[in-house]
Structure 1
Amino acid sequence: MPRPLWAGAISFGLVTIPVKVVSATEDHDVHFHRVHLADMGRVRTRKVCELDDQVVSQDEIGKGYEIAKDQTVPVTDEELEQMPLPTAKAIEIAAFTDADSIDPVRISDSYYLAADGQVAAKPYALLRKALERSSKVAVAKFAWHGRERLGLLRVREGAIVLHSMKWPDEVRSPESLAPREVEVGEDEIAQALQLADRMTIEDLSGFRDEYRQALEGIIAAKAEGKPLPAPA
């Protein structure tokens, strides 16, 4: 199992389910370093205080919030951890809703919830069965990375998945982006539907990141001193 990112519990009425949170996705992107082209030395970012122009070590860096020009209030990690939030160490289920009622644009990162120990097995299975048989998703609140978040719980291949979601006021309205009303003929609509039918597939597993594959080919060629692959 991947390394847990967070440990807490799902709060479901009178039921408490100890869980560990692990990422549901992996990053396969090719990451570059910034280098000095003259000698390929790594270029590092220094953390410098703008007042005294001194390099600051990590243990000298904290959080601060600017409440006015030239006035910043320090906030410590201990103060954030002691905030009176019921979601500080819990994923608190607040409601259930139909999955179709959730706008996909609000869904952000995804995580698997693993039952934390044998004591969690039965209540975990209970919540999973409730979600499966009701065909609904659970809306929950949880605190993570210094803020309270909105989450969505659903079942995927026997595991409970937590999707972090945007709050309603974090989603911009697309109203100003939509084109003005134009006339579209019924024949044109029918042709578009026929094309959609011909392009319809059931399985998306065949898609590949061709950009990453091409980039890895360039890196491999340069590492071996070979000519770069010719573009198609």
Structure 2
Amino acid sequence: MRSIWNGAISFGLVSIPIKLVNATESHSISFRQIHTEDGGRIRYRKVCELEDREVTQGEIGKAYEDADGTMIPITDEDLASLPLPTARTIEIVAFVPGERIDPLQIDKAYYLEANGVPAAKPYTLLREALKRSGRVAICKFALRGRERLGMLRVVEDVIAMHGLLWPDEIRAPEEAAPDTSVTVRDQELDLADALMDTLGEIDLAEMHDDYREAVEEVIAAKSAGETPPSAPAPDQGGKVLDLMAALERSVRAARESRGEEVAEVRSLPAKSPRASRAKPKEPTGKKSTSTTTKKKTTSTSSTATKKKTTTASGTRKKKTPAKTAAKKTTRKRAS
């Protein structure tokens, strides 16, 4: 890895000479612009407007354009002699817990290499101190014409530095939030949780760029004079407008892709006035409705008969003493 910046880490009174190298690289496929009629290469030429001629890279410098259009030349020596402590130094200003860093602030990543044998001891000291404390170092450094904010952390046995955006470079998120008020039901959240559990976790080391691989296949086919592979036919399925149905289908598809048994997931329908007034379904037992009705009728009639009999007998019992007295009186009079 080629170093892009040489300097030192300022750690209190300790100075650690280091080299800065890129920790990431781009594997995206780049294309050239060509003339479609003859395949000729299209190039951008750097031309001086005053002399109307092409200039070389060595003749090109920097300048600041004033409000009136005046160009103020700025040389590399001017930038190197800036009165800043971070011109050639990564100055550590604080140590904070790593969770306090908002991921939105994290920018490009670099590795810090110890520059020379004398730098190995203080480099290892800082690395082990960061490991044991579980914190990260907040620093300031100057790179490519501007002062930047950074974060130092340990990656295996190397100190890595992440460029951080300044707080005023992060836009407020309120403007991106939905304007309309939406209510999410518990059933929808339950299905979303089920989908997340079904998808599970993944090892990021297994992820790869499918787009780049597809482009490489097209390039290889065309260079060999073959027909490049075509895209599969798009899914002609209907557009799912129901969120619950979309979640259910997603859970089912995720489980099928993992070879799991798919259990039927039913959403609870919302209650409506029509549903509450719906007629109950007829029983589907083995006994017929007529038999049941007869039994109910017989039971009802027998019960009514018993009630009447009981009432009648009760009445006769109450009238019996009066009738007996009348008969005795008649007999006496007759005698």
- TM-score, normalising length: structure 1: 0.94
Gaps (5+ residues) in structure 1? none
Q: Which amino acid aligns with 1:26?
A: E
Q: In 1, distance between residues paired with 2:111 and 2:158?
A: 7
Q: Tell me what 1:95 maps to.
A: 94
Deviation of residue 101 (structure 1)?
A: 1.0
Q: Is it true that 1:79 corresponds to 2:78 in the alignment? A: yes
Deviation of residue 37 (structure 1)?
A: 2.5
Deviation of residue 51 (structure 1)?
A: 4.2
Q: Which amino acid aligns with 1:92?
A: E
Q: In 1, distance between residues paired with 2:3 and 2:79?
A: 21
Deviation of residue 11 (structure 1)?
A: 0.7
Q: Is it true that 1:200 corresponds to 2:186 in the alignment? A: no
- When the two chains are superposed, the root-mean-square deviation of aligned CA atoms in Å is 1.5
Q: In 1, distance between residues paired with 2:134 and 2:192?
A: 32
Higher helix share: 2
- TM-score, normalising length: structure 2: 0.66
Q: Deviations over 1:109-150 (max 9, x none)?
A: 111111112211111111111111111111100011011111
Q: Is it true that 1:190 corresponds to 2:190 in the alignment? A: yes
3-state SS of the aligned residue for 2:3? coil
Higher strand share: 1
What aligned pairs does 1:75-154 form with structure 2 within 5 A after superposition? 75-154=74-153
Q: In 2, distance between residues paired with 1:24 and 1:70?
A: 39
Gaps (5+ residues) in structure 2? 233-335
Q: In 2, distance between residues paired with 1:34 and 1:87?
A: 40
More displaced stretch, 147-156 vs 14-23: 14-23
Q: Deviations over 1:65-101 (max 9, x none)?
A: 1221322211111101110110111111111111111
3-state SS of the aligned residue for 1:164? strand
What aligned pairs does 1:154-173 form with structure 2 within 5 A after superposition? 154-173=153-172
Greater RCO, 1 or 2 (C-alpha within 8 Å, sep 6+): 1
Q: Tell me what 1:13 maps to.
A: 12
More displaced stretch, 143-152 vs 199-208: 199-208
Deviation of residue 202 (structure 1)?
A: 4.6
Q: Is it true that 1:61 corresponds to 2:56 in the alignment? A: no
3-state SS of the aligned residue for 1:143? strand
Q: In 2, distance between residues paired with 1:88 and 1:200?
A: 47
Regions of 4+ moved over 3 Å: 50-53
What aligned pairs does 1:40-59 form with structure 2 within 5 A after superposition? 40-59=39-58
3-state SS of the aligned residue for 2:52? coil
Q: Deviations over 1:144-169 (max 9, x none)?
A: 10111111100111111010111111
Q: Number of aligned residue pairs: give it.
A: 231
Q: In 2, distance between residues paired with 1:91 and 1:202?
A: 36
Q: In 2, distance between residues paired with 1:14 and 1:202?
A: 44
